[in-house]
A = this chain, B = another copy of it.
Amino acid sequence: MADRIKVRKEDDIIGWYNQVLLNSEVVDFSDIKGFAVYRPYGYEMWESSMYYLDSVFKERGVKNAYFPLLIPESLLTREKEHVKHFNPEVAWVTMGGDSLLDERLAIRPTSETIMYRSYSKWIQSYRDLPMLINQWNTMVRWETKETRFFLRGRENLWQEGHCVFATEEEAVSNAEDMIRVYKKFSEEVLAFPVLMGFKSEGEKFAGAVRTYTIEAVLPNNFASQVGTSHYLGQNFSKPFDVKFLDRGNRSQYAYQTSWGVSARAIGVMILIHGDNSGLVLPPSIAPIQAVVVPIMNGKSGESVEAYAGEVYGALKALGIKVLLDDRREYSPGWKFNEYEMKGVPIRVEVGEKEVKERKVSLKTRFNGSKDEVPFDAISTIPDRLADIQREMFERAEALMKSALTVETDRGEFVKKLKEGKYIVKAAWCGNPMCETKIGDETGAVSRMIPMTDDELLDKKCIFCGQEAEHNAYFGQSY
């Protein structure tokens, strides 16, 4: 219920976020820091995400597989950049039953190393390529910072795709294709826009040649990485011996990609759309798209109940995910609060008046608008849901635009980043040392460099004054 949220979104976005998540029964704490319980209402959103993405992957010929949860330490440490990054955040299994193990086993922080070990056995010739494999699983990264539901957990629900190609060209094209898939997922399913580009040398994935990223902008103007797609070149195929005989019978190292999106996307969606009454869900991800609430009093009860059933049946026949809540133990007012908290896009009220006039009263969650339509107009509700989806995206797009700014003055650049009120675009040298200094001074780092050519805002780097390489977006982030 609305009064269970004691913090306003505009005052303390993270405090608000936690209260919304707990009260809407999306997630819960477990006894271990950073290990969330995904309750049915929250998990169902992840299931819808999986359903959408899985079919897009399969259209591209990607097959699902499952690789072990545990990775021997010796395997994890084979690619040097990779291990340097991941080692400090690995959870280690050291005992099986009562016995100490000979070698420590890492719970997968990501599966490059264990998958490519298999790939080197499975790939013999060009005929085995491309190899396109994905897995849906959870990964564990032992965060020492404060953890947050969805955004920064120690255990995280995600998918990781790992593809192998005979040529660099195919691999780069796959990595770029997949980041576009993630962008479309954010826009069309989760109804928020993203900035798409690639990461700086300092921020890219450990072991990648290039990391493509999509970044969302949260209502507090922080950025959040929603999905990444890595072109790995031959950085893993060499240490893991992923080779193939080409048509000329020559042995070649393969070119690889890996790409992943996690349930963080759900958290970002909730942060962007939610309000002080709770979740506000886009119809494409909502576990319940419409809820029918009968308002019964006294003798009209039976006819209202019957009519509510008829309305429910009509909505169901249209393929809408609809719930009829005719429980007598709860009052209509309780239900109104409950489904507002749960972010159900459309509430359908049916009372004595509606029965008499053979109509329904509708309330739209995202903008609070109310109207009445005749029973026969129920057939237009799918269009109404599509309109809500589009309008929610447009509202989120306007929000993102208001957070973006361009800067050519060093002082202003530093000031804006420190305040954390903008995502700032500026000309930049791209040097990791320069990025470290920006981080030290402002707490912000680069979020991404646009993929498409972009006219340089300045010939010189906004921060160090060296020659600018490209424009980049900088900002605070979770």
Contact of A97 among B88, B114, B138 (CB under 8 A): B88
Taking a contact as CB atoms under 8 Å apart, the answer to whether B65 and A40 are in contact is yes
Closest residue of B by beta carbon distance from A90: B97
Scan A87-109; emit 1 where CB is below 8 A from any B CB, else 0: 11111111111100000110100
A39 to chain B, nearest CB (A): 6
A157 contacts partner chain B, Cβ-Cβ < 8 Å: yes
Please tell me how many copies of the chain the complex holds: 2
| A478 CB–B CB distance under 8 Å | no
Q: Is the interface of A mostly helix, strand, loop or mixed?
A: mixed
A52 interface residue, CB < 8 Å from B?
no
CB distance from A205 to the nearest CB of B (A): 19
Q: How many interface residues does chain A have, given as a range?
A: 35 or more
The CA-CA distance from A466 to B92 in the complex, in Å, is: 51
A189 CA to B255 CA, complexed, in Å:
39
| Residues of chain B with a CB closer than 8 A to A87's CB | 97
Q: Which residue of B lies closest to A98 (CB)?
A: B88
Question: In the complex, which residue of chain B has the Cβ closest to the Cβ of A154?
Answer: B96
In the complex, the answer to whether A140 meets B69 with C-beta atoms within 8 Å is: yes
Interface window among A30-38, A206-214, A268-276, A390-398? A30-38
Q: Could you list some 25 contacts between A and B, CB below 8 A?
A: A28-B118, A28-B121, A28-B122, A30-B67, A30-B68, A30-B114, A30-B117, A30-B118, A37-B67, A39-B122, A40-B133, A43-B64, A43-B65, A44-B64, A46-B66, A66-B157, A69-B138, A69-B155, A90-B96, A91-B96, A91-B105, A92-B93, A92-B96, A93-B107, A107-B107
Which residues does A use to contact B, with CB under 8 Å?
28, 30-32, 35-40, 43-44, 46-47, 63-70, 72, 75, 87-98, 104-105, 107, 114, 117-118, 121-122, 127, 133, 138, 140, 142, 144, 154-155, 157, 327, 329
Given contacts A31-B117, A96-B154, 16 further A-B contacts (CB under 8 A): A28-B118, A30-B68, A31-B75, A32-B72, A37-B65, A38-B65, A38-B66, A47-B64, A66-B138, A66-B157, A69-B138, A70-B155, A91-B96, A94-B94, A107-B107, A127-B329
